Chains A and B, each alone.
Chain A
Amino acid sequence: MSDSKRTIGEAELRDRVRALLAQAHPDAVDRVTFRRAQYDHGLAWVHFPEGYGGLGLSPGMQSIVDDEIALHARTIYWNLAINAIGIGMGAPTVMTYAAEHYKQQLLPRIFTGEDIWCQLFSEPSAGSDVAGLATRAVRDGDDWIVNGQKVWASIAHKSSWAMLLARTDPNKPKHDGLSYFLLDMKSPGVDVRPLYQITGDAEFNEVFLNDVRIPGDRILGKEGMGWRVAITTLMNERVALGGSSRPGHGLSEKLLNLWREEGPSGPRGADGRSAAEIAVLRDAVVRLHIESELLGITNQRTKSAMRAGNPGPEGSVAKLVQAELNKKITELGLELIGSDALVYETGYPLRRGEDFPARTRRENAKHDFLRARANSIEGGTSEVMRNILAERMLGLPGEPRVDKDVAWKDIPRG
């Protein structure tokens, strides 16, 4: 389109949404049809360029689109529910680095959810130090042959595509020897197995790669540029995990509800608890509620300030607070339940995370308590978040790096 430099205001953007709804209404057509039309109208990621599901606007304006759709439709599709990793992390990476024909092929199908995406970065021996990963990609003519083991891959068992980070040159320092591939999950040699966690659920997978062949044009960026491409993906991950921004509807909501059911004003009454014990618990609940409210306000402030461009390290504040706070909230939840916290009603049948049956509030509280342990590990440990905050926002010096300028193959591992 020739008028791509013209700025579109809020009113015109809302007009475009109404034009979309006139053509394809989510209450009238199926999901794929609607989402495809939304993509074609440039309303999928408004900050993407025209022709790629966007209009070249600032990312903040996406909320106007979502808002206008919600105003006129009963059927609402949530990016997080349809294809969280693909829409939140895969698409920006494809948009920035993929060849033109892959953008055209992949972006609309990511947005419709026809193609589910997963991320294959972490390995058993490469967690926080993901750049030290060992999965090898070796050239074979125009293609690459990949061998290795990936871990903590959520939704890999349903994915059509994966973002794969593999080592193409072990003789270079660790960051320089990586390449970033688009992997077709139906390729021979891809073996996906559930990874059961502390709760007995498997939300994640282990993925074994045995002589998997990847065509040469599926490298994003160039050979050896994998780390830079991965940074784009990871910066978007921190935003995706940022959390709710409406004060009063934050993390503490479930704790307040639990108090109302299990606390002294609930059906159990004081239940043998002394006035002093209740006062202590009440203070602990309010303390965490305040922090939860402040997290919501902080997220709002970040959004207000973030006018354009890719998200920076500010997302790390929210990620760190949310992780640590949710652990404290779920721990206190068990304390409110009291002696019955000794009982785990549902047991621990090993199953896929999406297969669990409906649970009572109490059962949920116990499940959440266990699940929350991962909050400060997944998507970057709290320790890594603190490094990022201290080094990028406060400008403190980094740790001396013993693995810098050393060939990857010579770095001690274990």
Chain B
Amino acid sequence: MDIRFSDEHEELRRTIRQFLSAESGEQAVRAAMATERGHDPKLWQRMAQELGLAGLVVPENFGGAGMGPIEALVAFEEMGRVLVCAPALASHFAANAILAVAGEADQEALLPGIAAGTSLATVAHVDAAGRWDLSIVSNEARREGESWRLDGVWRYVLDGHVADRLLLVARVPDGLGLFLVEGEATGLTRKALPGLDLTRRLAELRCSAVAARRIGEGDARPGLERALQLTIAALVAEQTGGAARCLEIATDYAKSRYQFGRPIGSFQAIKHHCADLLVSVELMRSAAYHASFVAATGEGDLETAVHQAKAWCSEAYFEVAAENIQIHGGMGFTWEYPAHLYLKRAKSSEVLFGSPARHREQIGERLGL
């Protein structure tokens, strides 16, 4: 498999980078993260309508950008660089889940609003125990005649506090079901969790006999697994973009900060750290690009590629973000300097969708170890 970006991909990258550097600079990020919502809905609208970032993989006949995993990779890498406060990952997960699970009518009903950025959707599949595997979902859906009722707690739901449409995963007799709940449904209470990462909001949902509509037929597990893999592929791209940016920031600082009469980057104690970070970032690129190219081409095993990428990129992003603080010395530890924003994003995205240890365990199983 040849990992190479086309001219169109590079053009997409330039367009998104230009837009985000104008619209999502540090000041904008800090302003958005201080709001209750956690993002600027006007900016999100523009990201959706001008760049197609809300419906990257939504087909064009449903108003989306009609793109695939490689374009999503490029987009998330760019969004990760600037820590844009936007419900992009939630939207991507929801669109992938609907595409993989829903029938034609539901797709037509749900996808255009998502793609337009006018109807924010998110997927909730983690229960109170906080495990990310679809094999251990404990919340159960109750059948009531033709409709369904949901009870229980769903945690760590991306932008769940403000989503217009919630897609809840619950057990049904024939496996897993995907259930649509409106944001203002009776019996639903939701609260934003005070996050470690201020640039991406997570919420907790509590359902008490909430009426829900089931999306799709039959066991939704295989479709949801694929949607989850594609979402993790986007997340590792985001991690890669963030780490690459941290390395640039650290390197720039090492060139311009003088101590003992020399730029600190001329000391091997600093420059060797930077070289090691460069290696980590290069391997992140390999891992993240590989996962999305496998998803796009169907060559190779997507599950393995995603586990491997999530395990590596999570730890590498944290390493780079943490070392960025160390290279900056005292200034890196201050609130006013943005290094902590990356550190918090790195740690939270390491935990999100399963720890590196869990992903390694799954690779071990696949290798028969």
Contacts and interface: CB of A to CB of B under 8 A. Distances in A.
B299 to A, nearest CB: 11
A397 B265 contact: yes
Contact of B251 (A287, A394, A398): A394
Interface string B333-365: 000000000000000000000000100110110
B279 A390 contact: no
Interface string B237-261: 0000000000100010011000000
Interface string B259-278: 00011011110111011101
A400 interface: yes
A383 interface: yes
Interface string A375-397: 00000000101110111011111
Contact of B265 (A265, A291, A396): A396
B2 A304 contact: yes
Main secondary structure of the interface of B (DSSP, over half): helix
Interface stretch (B131-139, B198-206, B280-288): B280-288
Interface in A358-414: 383, 385-387, 389-391, 393-400
Main secondary structure of the interface of A (DSSP, over half): helix
B308 A294 contact: yes
A385 B3 CA distance: 25
Measured as residues with beta carbon below 8 angstroms from the partner, the interface class of chain B is 35 or more
Contact of B364 (A285, A386, A391, A394): A285
Interface string B71-98: 0000000000000000000000000000
Contact of A282 (B3, B254, B369): B369
Contacts, number: 121
A298 B286 contact: yes
A34 B266 CA distance: 52
* Centre residue among A289, A293, A300, A383 by max chain B CB count within 10 A: A293
A297 B286 contact: yes
Interface residues of A, number: 40
B109 interface: no
Given A282-B364, A301-B3, A396-B266, A386 B272 contact: yes
Contacts of A385: 275
Given A291-B312, A297-B290, A300-B3, A283 B283 contact: no
Interface string B107-147: 00000000000000000000000000000000000000000
A209 B278 CA distance: 42
B86 to A, nearest CB: 29
B221 to A, nearest CB: 25
Given A301-B3, A387-B268, 17 more contacts: A287-B311, A290-B363, A294-B308, A383-B272, A387-B275, A389-B279, A390-B271, A390-B272, A394-B251, A394-B274, A396-B254, A396-B266, A396-B270, A396-B271, A398-B266, A399-B266, A399-B268
Interface of B: 1-4, 247, 251, 254-255, 262-263, 265-268, 270-272, 274-276, 278-279, 282-283, 285-287, 289-290, 308, 311-312, 357, 360-361, 363-364, 367-369
9 contacts: A282-B361, A285-B369, A286-B363, A290-B308, A386-B268, A389-B278, A394-B251, A396-B266, A397-B263
